[in-house]
Amino acid sequence: MTNPTTDPTLEVPNQIIEPNSLDKQSKLRVVGVGASAGGLEALQLMVANLPMDSDMCFIVAQHLSPSYKSMMVDLLEKGATLEVVAAKNHEPLKANCIYICPPNYNIEIDSADRIILTNFGESRHSPRPSVDMLFESIAIAKGEDAIGIILSGTGSDGSRGVRAIKGEGGFAIAQSPASAKYDGMPNSAINSGNIDLIVAPEEIGVELQNLIKFPKRKPSEVESTIPREVYNAVLRRLKRAYKVDFTLYKETTIVRRIERRMIVLKITKVEDYLSYLGQNEAEITFLFNDMLIGVTSFFRDAKAFEALHSELKQYLEHKDSKTVRVWVAGCSTGEEAYTIAMIIHEILGTKVEEYKVQIFASDIDKRAIEFARLGRYSESALQDLPKTFKQKYFTISQEQYEIIKPVKANVIFSEHDLISSPPFLRLDLISCRNVMIYFNLELQRQILPIFHYALNPSGLLFLGQSESIGVFQEQFRALSKSAKIYAAAFTGKKIPPDRNLSSRTIEDYIEVVKKIPTKPELSKHNTRLTELITERLNSIFINNAVLVNESAEIVFSQGINPLLVRPEGVPTNNIFKNLHPSLSVDLRAALHQLQNGQALVSTSFQKVKLHNENVWAKLILTEISHQAGIGKLTLIYCQVERELDMPLIMSDNSEVNSVLAQEQERQLMKTKEQLQTVIEELETSNEEMQSMNEELQSSNEELQSSNEELETTNEELQSTNEELQTAYAELRLAYEDKEAQQKELSKLQEELELANQLLEEAEQLGKTGSWRWDLKEHSLTWSQGSYRLFGVSDERFTPSYEAFIGLVYPEDRQALENHLSLLLTNQTHNSFKFRAYDANKQIMWVALEALVSFSHLKQAETVIGTFKNITQKIQTQNELDAKTIKIEYLMQHSLNGIYIFDFNTTQNVYVNNNYTKITGYTMEQLNNLTDEAFLALFHPDDLDAVLEHMNQVKNGRLGEAFALKYRFKHRLTQEYVTLYSNDTVFETNPITHQPNSMLGTFFEVEE
């Protein structure tokens, strides 16, 4: 990346080309579609308007009942423009095809563009298939080629998934709530701030086509670039609206976000987008939300968190105090903060209540902070969470998993800008994962010293897999290189780091810097010769070079410099402490000259003793302009010459000159010693002043940090107060509901008492009783009617299985026990009749009805049933049976023909033997005749009279007889016989009292 202070443009291509001029992408675009209630209509509208040659693949996840046999493929393929198929496990994806997830499966894709179906047999607490899981897998596998679409449905499934897609640079679309049958899912996704387009289902195909055809920027060409003044103007608008400075963020990331918004708005020129940004405040919000896309999850990178668990456990075992302070910087929606809280609870176990655990979780995204405070997550968000953690640290609330209060109480969420806000201090752990990857090198080198200052000695720093400590090897030591866990090294007294934010802020870009013309390139041959000369000069003449910063600290040394000596005592990089004492005064004077504007300063040669040899040494100093993340530097070249190599000055009076020179040298040495003493005293005073200043700075930093903590605590208190007010309102409503429920309960109790009274009276009148048999508790409960039925007292008789069987007539006991066994094994549902003794020790007949409740293992748990005294019914039935037998006997042995005719079926239901003897017809033969054939058996002259006769009987009353004489054709002789019939109503409908059948008797009359 070029330095923006010197390069007036960004290296981002701006050339517009048509899609047809590009080679077709080898990467398959995958579109995930999520829907629930009302989603079928939206899906039908969408698939009917999809482009046929988009080279996209569509995967549909619609919430379905696990036992429902889906007809989705058949319903969608009728009007679809693309092939619609049911998804199969490990099936490779292909373009221009729509895959439908089967019921009771979660559907995902892998990096090889294959479908992964997962069947869950455990209890469900969220709808399946999970739209979140589908979208997250597409985001991971496809990155910028991922697209997510949310259609009609209830709940919030898919909102987390579109955040993952946006985090990877993908595209998100939601159905307009006005066109959705159920707007829960679209509204939830829109409110998350991660939706790019809101359209009706039938318009989605057009928008996807526009997305493909929209002019792209060719990544390989950089002739045309975005003007820096436009880029800076966008950042200024963001800073003015949200007080966040994105200057030191990676420019490529910011430009990609700007381009995404341009694609959504179909704006091809960045100047036009800047104008649009100025005219639409809502667009600033959309762009800001795009900048803040954060992808996080519980135990993201499980191995790293295992290593953190081990290192943190070891750290806490050696910690003296029982205060644990953690800072999770860039916490996003809170999963990482809660993960660390759960790890601390696991480490401390039952002793956690003895510790004061404070986890400060901060982010600049207000929406994410508000979401994190709730501590509620969908089932898909917990897919990487160990099952034991899910059961131990979560409760289920409204189909979502909520962090338990003891863990939630340890985490304090606050809005906090890592770049400009004071840090939290005295920390045992800082977790800043996948945040610094969005910062440029200069900002990273400002943040890491802040972390070192905020951590306790040996405190832990936990970074993301793509992050490292860089040049700060002395401040941190690696504990786990693979997990990116570091310990803060003790470097003596801590000094608040200078953030040096003024080196690059948004205001530096107000003036447009003119592009500096480049010099003509040298030929390859000349360039190589120049490199050879430079390499040789570096190896011979620039061997004793030292770089020092503005604090006179050595930051780099080249070659083995004989003038650098390591002083005794506490190690230091101060140049005055490490340089040969004879040159300290000259160095200080030279640095003063540089500060006064002199470009190059050279000191005079001084005689110094090195390794028992006198040599001559001098210093040459020059300044190096400000470097990103380092500041202004000074280059010191140390030139050392032997006495024999120095030129001699000849004089006529050499002896006098020699004596004079020695005297001058002695006086000079004495003056230098005195000057050195004064300098050392001044340095001591200066160090004391500097120490006091550092202490003041440190105190000020701690005050700022304490103020930040107080503000954070205040935010939490405000949030808690709001929760308390909400809880109070809910409690009041609950109290009112309780009063209403109490009244309702009293009313129900009165109704229950009345019902019990009616039941008891009904049992008494109906001679019935009810009972309940609990097989788990081995208890049998009787109603008062049951006690009354068997003539036992509820005070003396205790119902049990054995006692009940004892009341049964001995000959029926085995049959009853067999019937109960069949009931308990679900082999019968019939009632059972048995004999028992009543209160007068008389035998009575009892009918037993029972209903058995079974567990999911098909084991009988409870039996509910009734007893009914059916003695009278049995006796009546016996009497009726006896009478029926007598009547049957009389009818069969009567000399007359007797029949019973059913008006409803128009068939005979009984004929006796003499009927067949007189007419020649059996009942079966008669019933096989059609109505026309049967009526044809009557003499044509008598037919009308017969029909009139039957009508009279049908309209008659019970016991009223009607006589008729008619002729009937004999089956065998085919001759008419004259019959004299007497007919009456035999049976009537008990409700309408209309005749159901008639009874007739006849005998043959001789003509």
Question: In which element (H, E) is residue 678 found?
Answer: helix 654-766
Residue located via tokens 């954060």: 294
Q: What is the distance between the terminal CA atoms of the chain, rounded to a whole angstrom?
A: 131
- Note the pLDDT of residue 523: 55
> Which residues touch 709 (CB under 8 Å, ≥6 apart)?
360, 424
Question: What's the pLDDT score for residue 647?
Answer: 65
Q: For residues 268 and 214, what is the distance between their CA atoms, to the nearest angstrom?
A: 9
Mean local confidence (pLDDT), 15-31:
50
> In this structure, what DSSP letter does residue 494 have?
-
What pLDDT, on the 0 to 100 scale, is given for residue 69?
65
Strands (E), 139-229: 146-150, 171-175, 197-199, 216-217, 225-227
Helix, strand, coil percent values for the chain (each to nearest 5): 45, 25, 30
Question: Hey, how many other C-beta atoms are within 10 angstroms of the C-beta on 941?
Answer: 9
Mean predicted confidence (pLDDT) in 886-892: 78
Higher-pLDDT residue of 493 and 872 is: 872
Tokens encoding 801: 């299985």
Which one-letter DSSP state was computed for residue 974? -
Which tokens is 49 given?
């308007």
Dihedral of CA atoms 207, 208, 209, 215 in degrees, nearest 10, equals: 90
Q: Is 63 a catalytic residue?
A: yes
From 132, 145, 157, 586, the catalytic residue: 157
Q: How far apart are CA 443 and CA 248, in angstroms?
A: 6
* pLDDT, tens only, 429-451: 999 988 888 888 888 888 888 88
Structure tokens at 721: 């107060």
Distinct helix (H) and strand (E) counts, the chain: 28, 39
Task: Considering only residues 629 and 451, tell me which one the structure prediction assigns the higher pLDDT.
Answer: 451
Collapsed DSSP state (helix, strand, coil) of residue 622: strand
Please, are residues 888 and 798 in contact by the beta-carbon 8 Å criterion?
Answer: no
Between 12-16, 109-113, 739-743, 963-967, the lowest mean confidence (pLDDT) is in 12-16
User: Which residue's entry shows tokens 């016989």?
Assistant: 977
Q: Is the pLDDT of residue 658 over 90?
A: no
CA distance 382 to 730: 29
Cis-peptide, bond into residue 406, ω within 30° of zero: no
Say if residue 130's pLDDT is above 60. Answer: yes
Is pLDDT at 149 greater than 90 in this prediction?
A: yes
For the CA atoms of 717, 720, 721, 725, what is the dihedral angle to 10 degrees? 180
**Mean pLDDT, residues 757-776 taken together:** 81
The span from the CA of 86 to the CA of 72, in Å, is: 9
Neighbours of 924 (CB within 10 A): 9
Axis crossing angle, helix 281-291 with helix 270-279, rounded to the nearest 10: 120
Spell out the alpha helix ranges (H) of 515-567.
524-540
Between strands 105-109 and 860-869, the pairing is unpaired
Query: For the residues 165-189, what does the mean pLDDT come to?
Result: 86
Backbone angles phi, psi at 481, to 5 degrees: -70, -35
Check if 36 is active-site: yes
Question: What is the percent of the chain where pLDDT is above 90?
Answer: 12
Q: Are 143 and 169 in contact (CB under 8 A)?
A: yes
- Helix (H, G, I), strand (E, B), or coil: what is residue 478? strand
Taking residues 847-870, report their average pLDDT: 88
For the cut 70, the answer to whether the pLDDT of residue 708 exceeds it is no
Q: Fill in the amino acid letter for 647.
A: P
Report the amino acid identity of residue 422.
P
**Segments of 244-366 assigned E as strands:** 323-329, 356-363
Query: Whole-model pTM?
Result: 0.53
Domain annotation for the chain: domains and CATH numbers: 29-213 (3.40.50.180), 219-291 (1.10.155), 302-488 (3.40.50.150), 526-641 (3.30.450.20), 765-875 (3.30.450.20), 894-1004 (3.30.450.20)
Which of the following is catalytic: 36, 54, 159, 297? 36
Q: Which two tokens stand for residue 911?
A: 């004929």
Q: What secondary structure does DSSP assign to 18-86, as a single string?
A: -GGGSPPPSSPEEEEEEE-TTHHHHHHHHHTT--TT--EEEEEEE---TT----HHHHHHTT-SSEEEE
Gyration radius of the chain's alpha carbons: 49
**3-class secondary structure, 876:** helix
Other Cβ atoms less than 10 A from the Cβ of 766: the count is: 12
CB-count burial class (<10 Å; 0-12, 13-18, 19+) for 549: middle
Q: Determine the pLDDT at residue 225.
A: 53
**Residue 368 to residue 132: CA distance in whole angstroms:** 17
Can you give the pLDDT at residue 514? 38
Instruction: Note the pLDDT tens digit of each residue in 258-273.
Output: 887 887 787 878 888 8
Reply yes or no on whether the pLDDT at 807 is more than 60. yes
CA atoms within 13 A on the CB side of 905: 12
Q: Where are the alpha helices (DSSP H) in 781-844?
A: 784-790, 801-806, 810-824
Between CA 440 and CA 5 the distance in angstroms is 14
Give me the chain's average pLDDT, please.
80
Tens digits of residue pLDDT in 778-806: 889 888 888 888 888 888 888 888 888 88
pLDDT of res. 963: 92
Residue 212 in this model has a pLDDT that exceeds 80? no
Which runs of E-coded beta strand occur in 381-474? 394-397, 400-403, 411-415, 427-432, 455-463
What value does the mean pLDDT take over residues 853-878?
87
Residue 157 designated active-site:
yes
Give me the helix-helix angle, 251-265 and 281-291, nearest 10°.
Answer: 130
Q: What's the pLDDT at 24?
A: 37
**Residue with token string 């042995």:** 893
- pLDDT tier for residue 129 given thresholds of 50, 70 and 90: confident
- For residues 433 and 464, what is the distance between their CA atoms, to the nearest angstrom? 4
- Strand 356-363, strand 554-558: pairing: unpaired
The span from the CA of 331 to the CA of 354, in Å, is: 26
**471 φψ region: left (φ > 0), alpha (ψ -120 to 50), beta (else):** alpha
Q: How far apart are CA 190 and CA 931, in angstroms?
A: 73
Residue 599: count other Cβ atoms within 10 Å of its Cβ.
9
Pairing status of strand 146-150 against strand 171-175: parallel
Q: One of 54, 63, 159, 705 is an active-site residue; which one?
A: 63
| Kind and range of the H or E run holding 673 | helix 654-766
In this structure, are strands 843-854 and 860-869 parallel, antiparallel, or unpaired? antiparallel
- Distance CA(476)–CA(470), nearest Å, equals 10
**pLDDT value of position 739:** 83
> Under the phi-then-psi rule, with left for phi > 0, alpha for psi from -120 to 50, and beta for the rest, what region is 158?
left
Element (H, E) at 555: strand 554-558
For residues 130 and 122, the answer to whether their CB atoms sit within 8 Å is: no
Q: Is 380 exposed, middle or buried (0-12, 13-18, 19+ CB in 10 A)?
A: buried
The answer to whether residue 500 scores a pLDDT higher than 60 is no
State how far the Cα of 935 lies from the Cα of 946, in Å rounded to an integer: 9
User: In this structure, are residues 294 and 372 in contact, taking their beta carbons and an 8 Å threshold?
Assistant: no
Contact 33, 58 (CB under 8 A): yes
Query: pLDDT at position 712, please?
Result: 66
The per-residue pLDDT for 373 is 87
Work out the average pLDDT over 834-858. Answer: 86
Query: Could you give the residue ranges of the DSSP H alpha helices within 150-194?
Result: 159-167, 184-191
pLDDT value at residue 221: 34
Quote the pLDDT of residue 883.
80
The CA-atom distances, in angstroms, between 136 and each of 127, 139, 143, 165, 167 are: 16, 5, 10, 7, 10
Whether the predicted pLDDT of 44 surpasses 50 = yes
Q: Which residue type, as a one-letter code, is found at position 953?
A: V
- The position carrying tokens 């608040």 is 496
Q: Say how far apart CA 677 and CA 674 lie, in whole Å.
A: 5
Predicted confidence at residue 326, as pLDDT, reads 92
Specify the pairing of strand 115-119 against strand 105-109: antiparallel
| Nearest CA-CA partner of 164 in 8, 327, 355, 300 | 300
Model confidence at 979, in pLDDT bands (50, 70, 90)?
very high
- Of 404, 409, 314, give the one whose Cα is nearest residue 359: 409
At 514-535, the pLDDT tens digits run 343 444 444 556 666 776 676 6
